[in-house]
A and B are shown apart, each in its own frame.
Chain A
Amino acid sequence: GESVGLHLPTLSVQEGDNSIINCAYSNSASDYFIWYKQESGKGPQFIIDIRSNMDKRQGQRVTVLLNKTVKHLSLQIAATQPGDSAVYFCAENAGSNSGYALNFGKGTSLLVTP
């Protein structure tokens, strides 16, 4: 089946800088995307989502950008803090053939250094 992937497996940023985590998807039928944060020893936690009828959505310190033309999704974290250190996953809605299941990327590890 089609899959969701990430450009970079690890990302190291300095505290206070902005972080950008990228994700490529290949299923053109996908119409819903989610970013999750997973801290060590915990389950994935919802950060922000976006539907395909939008190209940008903002939350608190986070922005998700969707480029359907090139099937690319990104998560921007403003003023990155030590508490942002975690693994970040993008996920796509796989469509009706898969019961609208979510397909997850393999994750990007974000390390925030002082």
Chain B
Amino acid sequence: EAQVTQNPRYLITVTGKKLTVTCSQNMNHEYMSWYRQDPGLGLRQIYYSMNVEVTDKGDVPEGYKVSRKEKRNFPLILESPSPNQTSLYFCASSFRGVRGVRTEAFFGQGTRLTVV
């Protein structure tokens, strides 16, 4: 089954304790992205990757890191989490279509992170 898998689904952590949220896709997609979803703000892109070893900042990259060492994996790293990073996080992947235009993104089930 084609899917994007995130882990963990739920995480409660303390301020400053480094954490990693994993994301894996089995569709051989070039593009992968991380979004955070907050009430009233919708989905905002954190980082994206156009292919292996190619990553770039989205709209809200502060406090986050990513890596793309393999095509299927795109982990999100919070080196020193803070309470304002409490949010619902989604990983997404998609093919690169004609002229580099994105096709529809497939989303994971989400990771609900609480930083206390």
Q: Which residues of A contact B (CB under 8 A)?
A: 1, 31-32, 34, 36, 41-46, 49, 89, 93, 96, 99-107
Q: Determine if B42 and A46 form an interchain contact, defined as CB atoms under 8 angstroms apart.
A: no
- Interface size of B as a range: 20 to 34
Contact A46 B106 (CB under 8 A): yes
Given pairs A42-B109, A44-B105, A101-B48, 20 additional interface contacts (CB within 8 A): A1-B59, A32-B101, A36-B107, A41-B110, A42-B110, A44-B107, A46-B106, A49-B103, A93-B101, A96-B100, A99-B50, A100-B102, A101-B45, A101-B102, A102-B45, A102-B105, A103-B45, A104-B42, A104-B43, A106-B41
**Which residue in chain B gives the minimum CB-CB distance to A87?**
B42
Question: Shortest beta-carbon distance, A88 to chain B, in Å?
Answer: 12
Given contact pairs A32-B101, A96-B100, A43 touches B108 in the complex (Cβ within 8 A): yes
Chain B residues in the interface with A (C-beta under 8 A): 4, 31, 33, 35, 40-45, 48, 50, 56, 58-59, 90, 92, 96, 100-110
**With the chains together, A105 CA to B44 CA distance in Å?**
9
Kindly list the 3 A-B residue pairs having the minimum CB-CB distance in the complex, ordered from nearest.
A43-B107, A106-B42, A104-B43
Chain A to chain B contacts (Cβ below 8 Å), 23 pairs: A32-B102, A34-B104, A34-B105, A41-B110, A43-B4, A43-B109, A43-B110, A44-B43, A44-B90, A44-B92, A45-B107, A46-B106, A49-B103, A93-B102, A100-B96, A101-B33, A101-B58, A101-B102, A102-B105, A103-B45, A104-B35, A104-B42, A105-B42
Give the chain A neighbours of B109 by CB distance below 8 A. Answer: 42-43
Q: Distance in Å from the Cβ of A100 to the closest Cβ of chain B?
A: 5
Shortest Cβ distance from A51 into chain B, in angstroms?
A: 8
Contacts of B35 in A (CB 8 A): 104
Q: Is the CB of A49 within 8 A of B48?
A: no
CA distance A29 to B3 in the complex (A): 30
Q: Within 8 Å CB of A31, what residues of B?
A: 101
Chain A residue nearest to B96 in the complex (CB): A100
Bound CA span A106–B43, Å: 7
A41 to B111, CA, bound (A): 10
Q: How far is the CB of A53 from chain B (nearest CB, A)?
A: 11
